[in-house]
């Protein structure tokens, strides 16, 4: 498996960056995970949009789905340009029916339901889900290719279920949106202490911290995380590529 970080910011993108956008690849299958603000621009540094096979969206906050509309326009242009012959699949949950319905764009994109209780096969992966602790209904994702596992927490505050969901994964992409001292604004998100605890208690073999805040020193986040988590850890950055096979 190969993971490329195309966008790693919470809330909004700084200049020339993107919010949540990750490219997961295996055996030529290219899956975009979340499609936040700036994602469509940034992802083209790593893949041609005509080569994308599917999109999966964790939840419908803007920093995870803002660019879906522009991706749909691209899919329309791909179709009339002869680059694509069938509807592009966009996986998302149905807890907000209007948002799910908007994943369909004429016959150019097609919404496909994901739920916390069922698995789905997307390309080479069996994907399972876990409801997170977040103001909007949100699903964490676990990708299993039969050899390795990758878990993306999406947006969440601490839950014991998440520890079980992440157990023994080869790579954990965990959000960390606030600092440990920001208790007042931490609702729905992990602090460095909690992200480190999640990785340590779940025995994740490798950790990447993402959904980064727009203030403070990010090095502090990594220092705090690695004081708790004993495995290899790094901060997400645009263009980072992680191979795990």
Nearer to Zn ion, 1 or 114 (CB): 114
Nearer to Zn ion, 37 or 74 (CB): 37
Total chain residues near Zn ion (CB under 5 A): 2
DSSP-derived pairing of the beta strands 241-243 and 2-7: antiparallel
Nearer to Zn ion, 6 or 190 (CB): 190
Q: Which of 131, 155, 170, 175 binds Zn ion (CB under 5 A)?
A: 155
CB of 20 to Zn ion, least distance (A): 9
| 67 interacts with Zn ion by CB under 5 A | no
| 61 interacts with Zn ion by CB under 5 A | yes
DSSP for the chain, written as a single string: -EEEEEE-BSSS--TT--BSEEEEEETTEEEEE---TTHHHHHTTTS-GGG--EEE-S--SHHHHTTHHHHHHHHHHHHHTTS--SPEEEEE-SSSHHHHHTT-BTTTEEEEE--TT--EEETTEEEEEEE-BSSS--EEEEEE-SS-EEEE--S-B--HHHHHHTTT-SEEEEE--S-TT-GGG-TTS--HHHHHHHHHHHT-S-EEEESB-SSS-HHHHHHHHHHH--S-EEE--TT-EEE--
Nearer to Zn ion, 134 or 142 (CB): 134
Residue 188 corresponds to which tokens in the numbers above? 């729905």
Nearer to Zn ion, 61 or 84 (CB): 61
CB of 58 to Zn ion, least distance (A): 8
| 26 interacts with Zn ion by CB under 5 A | no
CB of 140 to Zn ion, least distance (A): 12
CB of 62 to Zn ion, least distance (A): 9
Give the interface segment with Zn ion, choosing from 25-33, 58-66, 81-89, 189-197 (CB under 5 A). 58-66
CB of 59 to Zn ion, least distance (A): 6
Give the interface segment with Zn ion, choosing from 27-35, 112-120, 154-162, 211-219 (CB under 5 A). 154-162
Nearer to Zn ion, 61 or 142 (CB): 61
Place of tokens 């209780």: 117
Residues near Zn ion, by CB under 5 A? 61, 155
């Amino acid at each position: 498996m190969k993971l490329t970080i195309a966008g790693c910011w919470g809330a909004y993108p700084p200049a020339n960056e993107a919010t949540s956008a990750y490219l997961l690849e295996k055996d030529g299958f290219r899956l975009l995970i979340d499609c936040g603000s700036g994602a469509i621009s940034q992802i083209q540094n790593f893949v041609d949009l005509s080569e994308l096979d599917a999109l999966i969206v964790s939840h419908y906050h803007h920093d995870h789905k803002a660019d879906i509309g522009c991706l749909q326009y691209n899919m329309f242009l791909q179709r009339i340009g002869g680059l694509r012959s069938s509807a592009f699949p966009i996986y998302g949950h149905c807890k907000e029916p209007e948002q799910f319905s908007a994943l369909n764009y004429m016959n150019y994109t097609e919404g496909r339901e994901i739920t916390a209780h069922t698995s789905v096969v997307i390309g080479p992966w069996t994907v399972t889900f876990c409801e997170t602790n977040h103001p909007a209904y949100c699903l964490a994702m676990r990708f299993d290719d039969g050899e390795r596992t990758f878990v993306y927490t999406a947006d969440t505050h601490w839950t014991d279920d998440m520890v079980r969901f992440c157990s023994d994964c080869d790579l954990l992409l965990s959000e960390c949106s606030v600092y440990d001292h920001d208790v007042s604004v931490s609702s729905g998100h992990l602090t460095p202490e909690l992200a480190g605890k999640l990785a340590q208690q779940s025995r994740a073999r490798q950790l990447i911290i993402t959904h980064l805040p727009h203030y403070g020193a990010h090095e502090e986040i990594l220092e705090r995380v690695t004081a708790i988590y004993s495995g290899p850890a790094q901060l997400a950055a645009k263009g980072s590529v992680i191979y795990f096979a």
